Amino acid sequence: MTAIIKQAGEDTAMITTAWRRNFWMGAGVPLATVAIGLFAAGRGKAATKPAPSPPPEVGIIRVEGEHVATYREYPARTYARDLVEVRGRVDGYVDRRTFDIGSDVHAGQVLYVLDVRPYEAEVERARGALAQAAADIAQAEAVLLKARQDVVRLEPLVKEEAAPRQDLDNALAARQAAEAAVLSRQATVEANRAILRTAELNLEYATIRAPIGGRIGDSLLQVGGLVTKTSSQPLTTIVPLDPVWVRFQVSEAELPPFQRANNGSIPIELVLNDGTVHPHQGRIENTLNSVNTKTGTMEVQAMFRNPDHSVLPGQFARVRVRTGERASAVLIPQRAVQEIQGQQSVLTLGADNTVQTRSVVTGERVDQRWVIEQGLKPGDSVILEGLQKARAGARVTPRPYTVFASTNGR
């Protein structure tokens, strides 16, 4: 029995060994096939090169000759030519302030009202003195009338020796004294009339009015403050805003056209800091009388209408002056021009869509474009978009780029 069990164990071990051998021999073929496939795929992938990237795309414009008006711009600053300082003409405490700081006022508008009671009293006193002087002159004229009548009555009596000569002499002296008294009273009346006029003016000056119309500034004296006519500080200031004045500098070489333009023959525009153009065209009013020897420039002053008070004194702006017209001018956007160490250039499209660097010389500016004096001609293609991707000598893929021209031709 033991021999039978032992023989059964040996047979089972032999069967297990034979099964394992057959399994690995059967599976070896597909596993080897998989390994060979993976190895071949790895060698094929390593041997494949990446496809070259396509040429970068750029936007181009084709240069064409245009008939345009040319302009030149100058840095400018606005100012108020007729700024007025409001001062008190009489002394007194401020009773009322009747304007809003920073508001627009008109000529004659009441700004401050001082304590008028002392000046009203002065007016009444002057009127009383004038009335007294008028009464005195009436009395003196009555005395003069009597003295003249006495002289007229005594003269024939003295001729007839019906009255002593002494009485006539006394009457003549009395008439002369009465005439002098009348003249004195008349002078007193005129003096009192002048005193009354001065008192009335002081009363009028106690109400401070705007001498001109314009934009009023801050009040340097508040209600209750003492106004003195000898103060070095004004009460406030008023600047007229319509028209507004502009000053700018031009070089000596550019000066003759401006000197001949005092009649407004050169159209000028005011461009504000935000790029907007003032709606009213200006005119050149005058130039100063000498050229600055340090800068070689002269100041030009121009005037612009400003009915809506949108432009204030002290603003920085640009004056755009029309200098002429150009026929068949070559213009390109300003951003197409590159400047390195004072040398200006553009990128153009050459044969086979290759990029070329072209040196140019720019002239006057027309809106957001440059007039090209040298370096380009009508028909050339200039790269405007994708400049950072374009390199000289490299090929690119061009596409048309639309530039919206200004409606006013500038």
Residue 143 or residue 403, greater confidence: 143
pLDDT above 80: residue 123: yes
Q: For residue 24, what pLDDT is reported?
A: 41
Indicate the range of 79-93, 162-176, 256-270 predicted with least confidence. 256-270
Q: For residue 308, what pLDDT is reported?
A: 86
pLDDT band of residue 402 (cuts 50, 70, 90) is low
pLDDT above 70: residue 99: yes
Q: For residue 8, what pLDDT is reported?
A: 45
Q: For residue 50, what pLDDT is reported?
A: 66
Q: For residue 197, what pLDDT is reported?
A: 94
Give the span between the Cα atoms of 162 and 44, in whole angstroms.
169
Q: For residue 34, what pLDDT is reported?
A: 42
What mean pLDDT comes out for the span 301-320? 88
pLDDT above 80: residue 299: yes
pLDDT tens digits for 255-281?
Answer: 776 666 555 567 788 888 888 888 888
- Report field, pTM of the whole predicted structure over 0.85: no
Q: For residue 201, what pLDDT is reported?
A: 93
Q: For residue 343, what pLDDT is reported?
A: 86
- What is the residue-averaged pLDDT of the chain? 80
What percentage of the chain exceeds 90 in pLDDT? Answer: 16
What mean pLDDT comes out for the span 394-409? 65
pLDDT tens digits for 347-378?
Answer: 888 878 888 888 888 887 777 788 888 888 88
The listed range with the strongest mean pLDDT (10-19, 105-114, 165-174, 392-401) is: 105-114
- The CA angle 94-238-220, to the nearest 5 degrees, is 40
